[in-house]
């Protein structure tokens, strides 16, 4: 278990670090319109690889999968730190997502398969604690490094830690017996990759209203639907396919996939766009903004402990789920209604509530699915849930990124006023200082700089406000799904079966 926690810590800490450094990366490499793709590219490849990881574990064993995944993750981390353009950085993040999926997917499979249902909650709690630790330490490290050095060192310093994890994995992780040879579904993996990629590209194309973009949107949607149809047809007729489509006949499974998707989209606002809010709108440093992500992680830890004690009883599935989604949705509405102009301490409190509520919604689906569906399908069930969550991050980042861009105005001024209205620059404290000096060198009054800065920040704020409102809608969908799923299930029968298992 120590080996798994080391691998988990190395890969998960990278996520919280990158979240806080996102605005600085955009300011350095340019391309604010691609801000969401810093996270979408990573999550897209992760989502594509999650179903594949389960099959690879069956064929090659957990040690090989997690080892090679960690090597890929380390190499791509090096590429991220060396990037000199936004496109190369996004490409490197996409590779990093492949390694991340291999590591995390294998960890969840091992936890689900190595321990009995009674013990599974305990080890899931320990794993959550590892996530929480990385969630607390990551933003602190990222914020300090970003302010004192620069964003590249966030990736450079992660490399020796990753190398240590690789060595630790080779030395400590036990050898496995030769596994039964199985065929890998390469065709299914390819078609599924085409579906996921074209679907997200279609959403991203909506940030431009020109007719050419509209045509590309419909073409991409058509391609994604066709590839999805081919994938479903092929998987139905393939006994060793990538996904077991028969699982969708279980309401727990179908509802869990949809519910997880909705809560992740809501949660994405805080993990992806909250740093942009605090740095770009409020002008805080990365170090101070990192406190909000820490509050998010602490809220998740509190929620894991609180809801973990409640979710053991089937009759609590619906109350826990509704509570989780409601807390998240209300927090989003408050953020949008106040125009993000509330006291920093109140913003920390909202982040705490979002972390708390998100964990409740997650646990309301994870535990029921793992404990009430066929045990022999546990691996594919676990990877399917993981896919729903990772794909939700990618979908949420892309969709909310488009909403942000569509609700921001464009301004046409001569330099240096042009720079202050560029979203690439407004998200960086250092860039703003440079632009202020340019104003002074051009004999433009400081009062004009302050006015332009306020207008630019207000422009970003208006776009982000709609983003927060949009995320609250997904929380409402989550509540509807929860009511439909859990009210349709015979909870009394499940409780009787649960009591028999515990006797």
Q: Which 3-state string (H, E, C) describes 348-360?
A: HHHHHHHHHHHHH
Tell me how far apart the alpha carbons of residues 460 and 378 are, in angstroms, rounded to a whole number.
Answer: 44
Contact by Cβ (8 Å): 363, 311: yes
Report the chain's terminal Cα–Cα distance, integer Å: 28
Q: CA nearest 486: which of 267, 302, 325?
A: 325
Structure tokens at 3: 């080996």
CA distances for 5 relative to 2, 103, 188, angstroms: 5, 11, 31
Place of tokens 């929620």: 303
* Residue that the structure tokens 């050095």 belong to: 149
**281 CB contacts (<8 Å, ≥6 apart)?**
340, 457, 460, 461, 464
Q: Which whole-number Å values give the CA distances from 152 to 70, 193, 425, in the listed order?
A: 20, 30, 18
Kindly state the DSSP code that residue 243 receives in the 8-state scheme. S
Q: Are the CB atoms for 105 and 194 separated by under 8 Å?
A: no
Are 266 and 260 in contact by the 8 Å Cβ rule? The answer is no
Query: Hey, what are 109's tokens?
Result: 């499979």
For residue 209, count CB atoms less than 10 angstroms from its CB and return exposed for 0-12, middle for 13-18, buried for 19 or more.
exposed
d(CA 405, CA 46): 25
Is 212 exposed, middle or buried, given 0-12, 13-18 or 19+ CB atoms closer than 10 A? exposed
Q: Quick check: 97 and 41 in contact, CB under 8 A?
A: yes
What count of other Cβ atoms lies within 10 Å of the Cβ of residue 60? 15
How many whole angstroms separate alpha carbon 223 and alpha carbon 200?
A: 11
Q: How far apart are CA 328 and CA 325, in angstroms?
A: 5
Query: Cα–chain-centroid distance for residue 317?
Result: 24
**Phi-psi label, residue 443: left if phi above 0, alpha if psi -120 to 50, beta otherwise:** left
Rounded alpha-carbon distances, angstroms, from residue 399 to 129, 204, 356, 439, 474? 30, 7, 24, 36, 12
Neighbour count for residue 313 (Cβ, 10 Å): 14
List the one residue out of 47, 18, 10, 20 whose CA is nearest residue 291: 20
- Copy the structure tokens of residue 147: 């302010």
Task: Give CB contacts under 8 A, 24+ apart, made by 187-191.
Answer: 187/234, 188/231, 188/234, 188/235, 188/238, 188/241, 188/242, 188/243, 189/48, 189/51, 189/52, 189/242, 191/227, 191/230, 191/231, 191/234
Contact 137, 145 (CB under 8 A): no
**C-alpha 441 chain-centroid distance:** 43
Per-residue pLDDT of the chain (503 residues; tens, 9 = 90+): 666 666 667 777 777 778 788 888 888 887 787 888 888 888 888 888 877 877 787 777 777 888 889 899 999 999 999 998 888 999 999 999 999 888 887 776 676 555 555 555 555 556 665 666 666 677 778 788 887 888 888 888 888 888 888 887 787 766 655 555 566 677 888 888 888 888 888 877 776 545 456 677 788 889 989 998 998 888 887 766 677 777 787 777 887 788 888 888 888 888 788 888 888 888 888 888 888 888 888 888 788 778 877 776 777 778 888 888 999 889 888 888 776 666 788 888 888 898 888 888 887 777 777 666 766 666 677 777 777 878 888 888 888 888 888 887 776 666 666 777 777 777 777 778 778 888 877 777 888 888 888 888 888 888 888 888 988 888 898 888 888 877 766 555 555 555 554 54
Whose CA is closest to 137, among 298, 22, 351, 278? 298
Per-residue tokens: 117: 């249902």
């Amino acid at each position: 278990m120590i080996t798994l926690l080391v691998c988990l810590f190395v890969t998960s800490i990278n996520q919280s670090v990158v979240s806080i450094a996102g605005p600085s990366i955009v300011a350095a490499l340019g391309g604010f319109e691609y801000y969401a793709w810093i996270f979408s590219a990573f999550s897209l490849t992760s989502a594509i690889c999650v179903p594949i990881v389960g099959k690879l574990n069956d064929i090659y064993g957990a040690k090989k999968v997690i080892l090679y995944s960690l090597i890929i993750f380390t190499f791509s981390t090096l590429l991220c730190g060396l990037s000199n353009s936004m496109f190369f950085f996004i490409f490197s993040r996409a590779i990093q997502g492949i390694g991340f999926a291999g590591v995390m997917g294998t960890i969840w499979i091992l936890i689900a398969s190595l321990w009995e249902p009674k013990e599974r909650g305990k080890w899931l709690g320990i794993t959550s604690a590892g996530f929480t630790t990385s969630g607390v330490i990551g933003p602190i490290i990222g914020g300090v490094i970003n302010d004192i050095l620069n964003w590249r060192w966030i990736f450079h310093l992660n490399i020796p830690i990753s190398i240590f994890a690789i060595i630790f994995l080779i030395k400590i992780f036990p050898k496995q017996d030769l596994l039964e040879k199985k065929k890998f579904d390469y065709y299914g993996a390819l078609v599924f990759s085409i579906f996921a990629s074209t679907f997200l590209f279609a959403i991203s194309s909506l940030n431009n209203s020109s007719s050419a973009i509209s045509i590309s949107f419909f073409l991409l949607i058509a391609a994604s639907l066709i590839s999805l149809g081919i994938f479903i047809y092929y998987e139905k007729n393939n006994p060793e396919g990538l996904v077991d489509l028969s699982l969708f006949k279980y309401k727990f499974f179908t509802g869990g996939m949809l519910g997880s998707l909705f809560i992740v989209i809501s949660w994405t606002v805080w993990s992806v766009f909250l740093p942009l809010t605090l740095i770009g709108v409020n002008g805080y440093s990365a170090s101070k903004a990192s406190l909000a992500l820490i509050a998010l992680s602490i809220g998740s830890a509190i929620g894991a402990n609180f809801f973990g004690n409640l979710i053991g009883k089937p009759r609590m599935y619906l109350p826990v789920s509704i509570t989780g989604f409601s807390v998240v949705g209300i927090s989003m509405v408050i953020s949008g209604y106040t125009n993000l102009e509330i006291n920093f301490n109140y913003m920390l409190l909202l982040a705490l509530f979002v972390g708390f509520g998100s964990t409740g919604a997650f646990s309301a689906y994870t535990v029921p699915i793992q404990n009430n569906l066929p045990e022999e399908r546990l691996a594919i069930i676990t990877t399917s849930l993981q896919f729903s969550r990772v794909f939700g991050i990618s979908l949420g980042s892309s969709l909310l990124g488009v909403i942000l861009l569509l609700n921001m105005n464009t301004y046409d001024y001569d330099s240096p006023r042009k720079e202050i209205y560029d979203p690439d620059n407004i998200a960086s404290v250092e860039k703003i200082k440079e632009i202020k000096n340019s104003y002074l060198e051009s004999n433009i009054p400081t009062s004009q700089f302050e006015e332009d800065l306020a207008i630019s920040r207000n422009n970003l704020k208006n776009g982000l406000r709609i983003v927060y409102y949009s995320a609250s809608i997904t929380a409402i969908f989550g509540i509807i799904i929860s009511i439909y799923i859990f009210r349709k299930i015979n909870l009394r029968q499940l409780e009787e079966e649960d009591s028999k298992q515990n006797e």
